[in-house]
Structure 1
Amino acid sequence: MYFSLTIKGFEYAEHSFFGNAITLTLSDGTTQLAKDYPFKLSNALNLTYGEINGLGGDFYGTNDPISDGSTQEEQRSRFMAAFKTLADPSGLQPGEALAILGALQEEVDAVNEALRKHEDPSIAYSKLPADEWKALQKITSWRIVYRLGPTYLGLAKINFDHFGADARTTYNAGHAVAIEEAVKSNGDLDLAYALNAFADHFLEDSFSAGHLRTPRRDCHSGWMVNPWPDLCAKDMHDEDCAIGLSVKNPKGEAWTCYGDKRALDNANEDNKNRCLAAVQASADEIYNAWKSKQKPAAYKAWDHAPTLESANASTQVLAPLFRLNNGTLERRKPITDRRKWEFIASDWTFAGTHNECMGSHWWDYPITIDGPTWLLPGSSVVSTTPSSGKCCVYYQDIQGGIRQSAHDGAWAASNAGMFKAKRFTPLAVITWNSGKEIRIYCLSQDDMLQEWCYSSANAQGSWYTGDLNNLRVRGAPNTSIAAIQWKNGSQIRVYCQESTSDEIQEFCHDSSWTRGHILPTARTGSTIAVAGWSDNGIHLRVYYQAPDLTLREQCWDPSNWYAGGFSTDKVPRHSSISAIGWYNSGVYLRVYWHDSSQNIVGYEWKNGSWVSAGTVLTLLPRGTRSSIIQWDNGQRIRFYYQARNNDILEECNDGGAWFTGSVVATSS
């Protein structure tokens, strides 16, 4: 039960990432990354800016919330008292802080490994044990004996300082204390930085969606035997963090803000960068105040942060689970209709609400706006056309199974996974002999490149593993896969990045599987797309994102590989790329990608030059995976992608403008 009360801001690893990623200007005028500059506290602890940032508030504080201070002077006094629980000598320090950091190391390692693999850390968080709080509570329980303030769970129970306007009050108090130290004639710059690192924890909380509009004080009980209000606060917090809110800063810049466990996800990159800019501005103000001995007129960090007004706007797609309406706490009437702005002020209880939330399974990982889904959010989507007018689309379900939707007059989806792969695996598919032969390429749980085969000649009618598996290729955990075949499957090419290199490796099947050419280095985790045509031999075009974030082309004409003429300006990291090609008295190519405005745009090669192919879709979420196919020499083009509600959708072009096609697979 108590575990559910640990309503935190960003997780420790996320807070420490933000704090350690900034640059500090030291007293001699040199600069150093915060992660490489430990501060020696008065109790002999040596902690970096990020470590202080991560420990502040969640693990160290007093029984007196800082934002409860009736005056600015009292708020600053309370902040200093909270900081001293970490920094001053006591009967527990420095051993207690070191023990806490040791208990948190599993989380830090999991997040760092996900970042190393260029995977979303939220996936790593979903796999961590749910009882981490027990070790942290045990470590901090000695505070009761020494009368040194609240334990880990005790702080979580009264963590008002991390939410809404209270978080702003708390940061302002702490930042002011740090500036006061900096402007002293004998001010200690390192101490001022350490104080500010503690304060920045609450600044960062103001970039977490679950901390912007949750009415934390109204969802609270002072009685430990009545945890239901606090549990309901966590329910709303978790929902907002996972699904995200549309926000604006004071300059009117708009973006989507996610929260705890998603701070370092690809979808949160815009919000992450704005948070980093705010933390950097906060630290820079400390140095400037120390150098000039003058206080800033205003705190620049707030120029970057979401406004509470934008987070609480009634234009949000996600209706709040709770809201204050003229001082009355109201609950969303349909708990499992997150889009419906309908509220009730009575006929509900905290206990009943929390139990309904948990019983609905709408709060199970991954939390999505339309509730539990059998389709995996963020699934790879690939497609093929076995014959004119027939389409097959492949994607992954929540259990890791690979599913198929086939269109031959109408769409029909498989009822179960045909085989399982690593969750969030990349996919590639080829087919020949009018769909009687299918090959799907993916990654296994341990990132081994896998070939799965279907052959109508197989009496069992089931999928089986292919000979490519015998090469024992370990793919990069975040690699893309592309595949193409010709001559009725007698020749196949597969492309991916391996775990040991960012170069694109080609694998060839002519009579047996062998390693082929090594193509240039791509951006780690780049999407890879391949298109081709036959004209006096096979011609191949491979598209990828280069390390400088531009899109590039490698060309195979019957005798050699060379760099092609296709290129773009910089596009977002891991931009989705898809390509098609055909020959009809000339070469035709189309390449589509996700641009910096979140639109799917394209170029086409026609009559010997690249020209714009227009826009297929607008405002697709960052990270959306897509696929494209054509038949009848480009007279019919189909584009497939996963929508915000996790459905697999289709856009069509039959020679004119793009138009919306069918729902290929529904997540409900």
Structure 2
Amino acid sequence: MSHYAQNGEGMEVDLTKTSLGRSSSVNQKIHYVGGENAPEVVPQMEQQHGMYQEGVYDNVSAPSYGQEQVAEKSGKGSTICGMRKKLFWILLGVLALVVIVVVVVVAVVVTKNNSNSNDGSTSSGSSLGSGSGTSTATATATSSGSSPSATAGDIISDGSEFAAIKSGNSMQFFYQTNNGSVFYEVQTGEKITSGPSIVPGLTGAKSGTPLATVSWNDGAAIRLYYLNSDNEIQEYAYDNSTGWYSGSLSGEGIRAVDTSRLAAIKYGDNLEIRLYFQVSGGVVQEYTWKDESWSISQSLPVGITGTGLAALYYPDNNIRVYYQTNETSKVIHEISYGWPNLKGWDETGFGPDRNAVATVGSIAAVSWGDTSDWQMRMFYHPLDTPSSIATWAWKNTTWVGPKTIVSDTTIDNGSISVMSPAIDQYRIVYQDSSNSSTDLLVQE
């Protein structure tokens, strides 16, 4: 916003055209410029305001009348507030003009500021699919006042994890900035409609922490998971009635290995949460929230160091978990709980059959639909093109793919997160080659 200073303009008065008439209330002095017999009448007010200068009447015929004649010629009503009527109205007009200019300038500035504030976003569209936008954490938050806004120094850290959830008809996603803070944004259509804002009260996340989140009731309840500097899993919770607060898992002292990623899902019709992470030896561990308490539930096969993790829910209380098990091949495997006979965990054959060879790191998965037409999508960075994103699709009870959906625009092996806002839709967010977040809305 620019600031403007107002400069007053001096007003020149032609003294040869100025009436010398004054009311009797004006204190007047007589200055003798051309000799003591040549009186010049100059009002005291004009002298005080610089309108009279010594010598201005040199070589000019002096008036032929004296002080008494001046007083006699002036009449009541010839001045206003001690000033000549003409001068008074000129000054009043100038003052009115200045006031109008100031009001217009202020109105323009306020309108501009309101326009910038209402935009609430630094997003710019691109041609990725049916809807997309990019952003860096430099905008003013449009969310509640309890969430501090981002500043110009808060940028998405290189390689930050993303975690996305459904929030009404929008996507809410979380990421870490270069100063270690965890931020969130809400993306609706092609615009950021809330944020970027710091998750209020969340502190102690280690640099480069993995992130995972679950939600229910269209974002009215959220659980966000991350690691502290001791690699202990922390839970940060949000409920509409209470706002953000530290969740019970934060006090459990559950520790993951330093390279572990995180994945989480809400499971079943009742409120259960399944959380996945790596522990010593590379084992993928499942931890469960059920009946108001956390407990260790299942140790899954060993994953390679730093494997990506993704999990999704399948109808009739099935779970699918994706991870990599072989250091050499780096093929993504799918392991399923409750399929086909509800008797535990089984390898589905997706890995060997589909040969989804991926870089070590980010894997994302999403599902939607009903039992008769359930859809699943799994996303990864192909090993031979780590700056692109490919997907395998579960359609009509079979896997189809791979298909490249983002070509050479991401940072190598950057984070991927995805959610489904509606039937036959998914929205994927990833870090692009400029270290900004980009989201892609796909309608199928």
Aligned residues: 277
Q: What residue number does 2:297 align with? A: 516
Q: Describe the SS at the equivalent of 2:218.
A: coil
Alpha-carbon distance change, 649 to 377 in structure 1, aligned in 2, over 3 angstroms:
same
| 1:627 equivalenced with 2:424 (yes/no) | no
Change over 3 Å in CA distance of 1:373–1:645 after alignment to 2: farther
Q: CA deviation at 1:489?
A: 6.7
Please tell me whether the aligned partners of residues 421 and 427 of structure 2 are also in contact (alpha carbons under 8 angstroms): no
SS in 1 for 2:249: helix
Aligned residue for 1:374?
155
**SS class of match (1:562):** strand
Relative to its length, the structure with more strand (as a share) is: 2
Quick one: which amino acid aligns to residue 425 of structure 1?
T
Give the direction of change, closer, same or farther, for the CA distance of 1:473–1:403 in structure 2 (3 Å limit): same
The structure with the larger Rg is: 2
Which residue of the other structure, out of 620, 639, 643, is the alignment partner of 2:428?
639
C-alpha separation in 2, matches of 1:591 and 1:564: 14
Counterpart code for 1:439: R
The verdict on how the C-alpha distance between 1:372 and 1:437 changes in structure 2, with shifts beyond 3 A counting, is closer
Contact 2:164 2:172 (8 Å CA) reproduced: yes
Alpha-carbon displacement from aligned partner over 1:57-112 (angstroms, at most 9, x marks no partner): xxxxxxxxxxxxxxxxxxxxxxxxxxxxxxxxxxxxxxxxxxxxxxxxxxxxxxxx
Q: Which amino acid aligns with 2:266?
A: Q
Q: Which residue, 383, 390, 399 being the options, matches 2:164?
A: 383
Letter paired with 1:384: I
Give, in whole Å, the separation in 2 of the partners of 1:471 and 1:520: 23
Q: How far is the alpha carbon of 1:565 from its aligned partner?
A: 2.0
- 1:405 aligned residue: 185
Shift of 1:603: 1.0
Shift of 1:639: 0.9
TM-fit CA distance, 1:454: 0.9
**Greater helix proportion:** 1
Give the AA of the match of 1:605: W
Match for residue 453 of structure 1?
Answer: 237
1:424-573 aligned at under 5 Å gives the runs 424-458=208-242, 461=243, 463-486=244-267, 490-498=271-279, 500-511=280-291, 512-535=293-316, 538-548=317-327, 549-557=330-338, 558-567=342-351, 568-569=354-355, 571-573=357-359
SS of alignment partner, residue 579 of structure 1: strand
**Partners of 1:489 and 1:427 in 2: CA distance:** 24
Give per-residue Cα distances to partners, 1:640-660, cap 9 Å, x unaligned.
0111222111112112xxxxx
What is the identity, as a one-letter code, of the residue corresponding to 1:642?
Answer: Q
Separation of aligned partners in 1, 2:276 and 2:377? 19
Distance 1:373 1:453, change over 3 A: closer
Matched, 1:582 2:372: no
Q: Is the 8 A contact 2:336 2:346 kept in 1?
A: yes
User: How do 1:189-268 and structure 2 match up within 5 A?
Assistant: none
SS at match of 1:383: strand
1:358-394 per-position Cα deviation (integer Å, ceiling 9, x unaligned): xxxxxxxxxxxxx96522121101111133x221011
Instruction: Output the CA distance in 1 between the equivalents of 2:245 and 2:163.
Output: 19
Structure 2: distance between partners of 1:509 and 1:425: 22
Q: Is the 8 A contact 2:320 2:336 kept in 1?
A: yes
| Aligned counterparts of 1:641 and 1:534: Cα–Cα separation in 2 | 27
Deviations 1:286-345 (A, max 9, x none): xxxxxxxxxxxxxxxxxxxxxxxxxxxxxxxxxxxxxxxxxxxxxxxxxxxxxxxxxxxx
Give percent identity, aligned residues only.
27
CA contact (8 A) 2:267 2:313 kept: no
| 1:577 alignment partner AA | I
Cα distance change of structure 1 residues 464 and 565 upon mapping to structure 2, 3 Å threshold: same
Partner of 1:611: 400
Q: What are the Cα deviations for residues 207-258 of structure 1, in whole angstroms up to 9, with x where unaligned?
A: xxxxxxxxxxxxxxxxxxxxxxxxxxxxxxxxxxxxxxxxxxxxxxxxxxxx
Q: Distance in 2 between matches of 1:647 and 1:494?
A: 28
1:572 Cα deviation after fit: 4.6
Counterpart CA distance in 2 for 1:573 and 1:560 is 29
CA distance in structure 2 between the partners assigned to 1:631 and 1:602 by the alignment:
18
Find the aligned partners of 2:443 and 2:394 in 1 and give their Cα distance.
18
SS of the residue corresponding to residue 415 of structure 1 reads: strand
- Cα distance in 1 between the residues matched to 2:167 and 2:319: 20
Task: Output the CA distance in 2 between the equivalents of 1:439 and 1:372.
Answer: 27
1:423 to 202, 207, 211: 207
Unaligned runs of at least 5 residues, structure 2 = 1-151
Deviation at 1:474, TM superposition (A): 1.0
Q: Secondary structure at the match of 1:423?
A: coil
In 1: Cα distance, 2:164 partner to 2:269 partner: 18
Q: Can you list the C-alpha shifts for 1:173-223, whole angstroms capped at 9, x where unaligned?
A: xxxxxxxxxxxxxxxxxxxxxxxxxxxxxxxxxxxxxxxxxxxxxxxxxxx
SS in 1 for 2:277: strand
SS of the residue 1:514 aligns to? strand
Which residue pairs with 2:86 in the alignment?
none
Aligned-pair distance for 1:467? 1.4
2:378 to 582, 591, 600: 591
Aligned 8 A contact 1:533 1:583 in 2:
no
Q: What is the SS of the residue equivalent to 1:480?
A: coil
Distance 1:618 1:472 in 2: 41
Say whether the 8 Å CA contact 2:171–2:421 is kept in structure 1. no
Cα deviation for residue 476 of structure 1 reads 0.9
In the alignment, the residues of structure 1 paired with residue 245 and residue 265 of structure 2 have an alpha-carbon distance, to the nearest angstrom, of 19
Q: Aligned-pair distance for 1:448? A: 0.5
Q: Quick one: which amino acid aligns to residue 521 of structure 1?
A: V
Write the letter of the residue equivalent to 1:560. Answer: G
Deviation at 1:534, TM superposition (A): 2.6
Structure 1 segment 75-94 matched on structure 2, within 5 A: none
Query: TM-score, with normalisation over the residues of structure 2?
Result: 0.59
Amino acid at match of 1:561: W
Question: Is the CA contact 1:432–1:488 (under 8 Å) kept in the aligned structure 2?
Answer: no
Distance in 1, matches of 2:343 and 2:245, equals 34
Counterpart residue identity of residue 256, structure 2: G
Deviation string, structure 1 residues 110-142 (Cα, Å, up to 9, x no partner): xxxxxxxxxxxxxxxxxxxxxxxxxxxxxxxxx
Letter paired with 1:547: N
**TM-score (structure 1 length as normaliser):** 0.40
1:551·1:569 contact (CA, 8 Å) conserved in 2?
yes
Distance 1:613 1:385, change over 3 A: farther
Cα distance in 1, alignment partners of residues 325 and 349 from structure 2: 14
Q: 1:560 to 1:576 in 2, by over 3 A?
A: same
Deviation readout 1:595-623 (Å, 9 max, x if unpaired): 02222111111222211152111123322
Going from structure 1 to structure 2, the CA distance change for 1:583 and 1:556 (only over 3 Å counts) comes to farther
